[in-house]
Structures are given as C-alpha cells and as structure tokens.
C-alpha cells in the first residue's frame, strides 16, 4: 500500500518534467503538417456537425423537450467524451510509444500515462472554450455554474488516469487490449448516452436507466450538461457523486497496484 500511495508523490515531484513532455507530445503529433495543431480540432468539429445534421435535420425527433437547441445539448456531452477517448487511448499506449524511455533505468516511467492525460487536456480546454463561445452565440452566457467544468474535468482526468495505469501495464503483454478498448469506446459513446436523451427515452424503463448511470462517464457528461444547460450543482446529486468518487479511488488504487506489479518486466518485454 505504501508503494501504491507513493505514485501521487512521484507525479507531484515530476510535475515540471510532465508538463514539458506533455507540451512536446502535443506538438509532435502534428509536426510536419501544414495546418499543425489545427488538425486536433478539425475531426471532432466535423464529428459534431455530422451528428447534429443526422439527429436534428435527418431524424428531427427527440429534442423538442430540451431547454436549448439540440446542437448545444450534443456538444455539452460530447466534449468530455472526446477528452476521455483521447486520454484513454493515449494513456493505454504510453509505454509502447515511449518504449525508449521505459528502457532507461533512471527514468521514472510512472509519469508517462500522466503525460498523455495532460496532452489530451490541452485540446480539451480549447474545446471547452469553443463550447462557451457557441453557447454565447445562441444567447446563453456564462454564469457561476460554469465553474463546475473545472471540477468535472479534474474528476474525469483522475478516473481516466487510474484506468490508464492498469491498461498501459497490461497492453505491454497483451497488445490486443488496444483493439478491445476501441470497441468499448465505440459502444460506450451510445450507452453513456450522448447522442440521445436518456431521461426522456427511458422514462418507462427506470431500471435500465439506473444501469446506464452506473457508467462513471455518464456522471461526467451529465455534470457538463448540468453546468451548461440545467444549472444544477454537483452536490445536488450526493449519492451519485459518492458512487463516482468511490469508483475513481478504487480504480486508481487498483491501476496503481497493477502498474507497480508489472513495471519490473516492462523493459524486458518492450
């Protein structure tokens, strides 16, 4: 347990190096391309526009009861999902991508998943600003509830980091885990839910709705929508909040334990 709890201390002690590596990781993704880091935003924006067209122009259903236009409901939920998706994929493959650092005896490899989290956070912060501007264009201006975005972003980062400590360690020995995670993310975007209104469509299926709410990312997505749309504070859902943090703490402890147990073999396998 002492070794597990030493991980946060290692992260804090290496915070300057983590920031430098994260900034470099963010820049090198788009090195050599004409548009540079703009590519980090093009694909998500195109994805949002396609979903908006399909669900508001194509199907024209399920959004009449919303207090805001459907595109605002959509972006409020999909922006945290983009961060979760990018951070989980990046963090899972961090040891493989930086295998040359893993083989260095003096390098603290426990910071590598954190580097991927911070790199994904750069894009996420830009997208949050994009969402705020979009809401302003529709006449919905920032208020105190928007401060909760900091809380929900931090909560999502910690939960994802716990997952990545486990997945980044396991994927070194089981490379197929990357494909498994991609499939789970494809399914998860629909089960969270992001593209449809669970409260309305599952009004007659409360048990199913409760099962979907066990997904901790659902808590984050709902939190973003509470901040942007419904104007609820996170402490107004005490049981749900306690459940999320219990899940996050257990995930972080378990992920740290897996990472510590397997790290001695990383250099040999890679």
Q: Over 23-58, what HEC string results?
A: HHHHHHCCCCCCCHHHHHHHHHHHHHHHHHHHHHHH
pLDDT of residue 2: 57
Q: Are 94 and 111 in contact (CB under 8 A)?
A: no
Average pLDDT by stretches of 10, the chain with 270 residues: 64 80 77 64 73 62 71 89 92 88 78 88 88 90 93 94 93 91 89 78 76 90 93 92 95 90 82
Structure tokens at 46: 């195109």
Q: Are 92 and 164 in contact (CB under 8 A)?
A: yes
pLDDT of residue 81: 93
Could you give the CA distance from residue 42 to residue 178 in angstroms, rounded to a whole number?
24
pLDDT of residue 56: 63
Could you give the CA distance from residue 232 to residue 199 in angstroms, rounded to a whole number?
16
pLDDT of residue 189: 85
3 state DSSP class of 11: helix
Q: Are 80 and 156 in contact (CB under 8 A)?
A: yes
Q: What is the dihedral of CA 148, 111, 161, 89, to 10 degrees?
A: 110
pLDDT of residue 63: 58
Block residue for tokens 């290496």: 14
pLDDT of residue 146: 94
Could you give the CA distance from residue 241 to residue 247 in angstroms, rounded to a whole number?
10
Give the residue from 185, 189, 246, 186 showing the smallest Cα distance to 221.
189
pLDDT of residue 195: 78
pLDDT of residue 17: 83
Could you give the CA distance from residue 168 to residue 262 in angstroms, rounded to a whole number?
10
Residues 6+ apart with CB under 8 A from 201: 62
pLDDT of residue 34: 61
Q: How many CB atoms lie within 10 A of CB 216?
A: 22
pLDDT of residue 268: 79
First to last CA, the chain: 27
Residues 6+ apart with CB under 8 A from 79: 124, 127, 128, 131, 224
């Amino acid at each position: 347990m002492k070794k597990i709890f030493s991980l946060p201390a290692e992260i804090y002690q290496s915070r300057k190096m983590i920031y430098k590596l994260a900034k470099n990781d963010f820049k090198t993704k788009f090195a050599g391309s004409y548009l540079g880091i703009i590519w980090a935003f093009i694909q998500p924006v195109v994805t949002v526009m396609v979903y908006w067209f399909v669900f508001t122009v194509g199907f024209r259903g399920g959004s009449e009861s919303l207090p805001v236009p459907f595109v605002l409901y959509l972006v409020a939920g999909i922006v945290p999902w983009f961060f979760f998706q990018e951070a989980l994929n990046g963090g899972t493959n961090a040891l493989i991508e930086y295998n040359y650092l893993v083989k260095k005896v003096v390098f603290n490899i426990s910071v590598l998943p954190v580097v991927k989290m911070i790199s994904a956070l750069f894009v996420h912060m830009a997208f949050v600003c994009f969402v705020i501007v979009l809401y302003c264009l529709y006449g919905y201006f920032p208020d105190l509830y928007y401060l909760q975005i900091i809380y929900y972003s931090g909560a999502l980062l910690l939960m994802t980091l716990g997952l990545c400590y486990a997945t980044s360690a396991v994927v070194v020995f089981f490379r197929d885990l990357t494909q498994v995670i991609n499939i789970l993310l494809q399914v998860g975007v629909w089960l969270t839910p992001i593209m449809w209104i669970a409260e309305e469509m599952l009004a007659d299926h409360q048990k199913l709705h409760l099962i979907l709410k066990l997904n901790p990312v659902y808590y984050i997505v709902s939190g973003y929508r509470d901040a942007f749309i419904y104007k609820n504070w996170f402490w107004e859902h005490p049981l749900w909040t306690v459940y999320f943090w219990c899940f996050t703490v257990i995930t972080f402890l378990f992920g740290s334990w897996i990472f510590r147990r397997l790290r001695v073999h990383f250099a040999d396998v890679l």
